[in-house]
């Protein structure tokens, strides 16, 4: 049996930390939330996505499921990133 973790459990941490901590705990992968702050498509560059893919390979982990806006939706007015604040205002 394989085990993993829903990335939302680490809501206050970058998704890379979710991958690392899950692998260190013996997990095989993560279920990734497609909302903010983790893997919202408009927030990640191609380079950042490739870094996450590399980290998954290095940690011998996988993404068991990816569900857009599973637990969090794109709006996040309290972020200090201008793009995220602007998108959040436009989304509301």
Q: Model-level pTM greater than 0.75?
A: no
**Cα(88)–Cα(16) distance, integer angstroms:** 23
Q: How large a percentage of the chain has pLDDT more than 90?
A: 27
- pLDDT, tens digit (0-9, with 9 covering 90-100), for 22-34: 999 998 888 887 8
Checking if the pLDDT of 92 tops 60, the result is no
- pLDDT, tens digit (0-9, with 9 covering 90-100), for 56-70: 999 999 998 887 664
Count of structural domains within the chain: 1
Ramachandran bin of 75, using left for φ above 0, alpha for ψ from -120 to 50, beta for the remaining angles: beta
Domain range spanning residue 29?
A: 4-91
């Amino acid at each position: 049996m394989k085990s993993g973790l829903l990335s939302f459990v680490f809501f206050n941490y970058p998704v890379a930390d979710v991958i690392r901590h899950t692998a260190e705990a013996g997990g095989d992968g993560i279920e990734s939330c497609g909302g903010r702050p983790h893997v919202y498509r408009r927030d990640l560059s191609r380079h950042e996505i490739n870094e996450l893919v590399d980290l998954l390979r290095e940690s011998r982990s996988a993404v068991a499921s990816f569900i857009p806006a599973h637990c969090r939706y794109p709006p996040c007015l309290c972020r200090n990133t201008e793009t995220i604040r602007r998108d959040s205002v436009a989304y509301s």
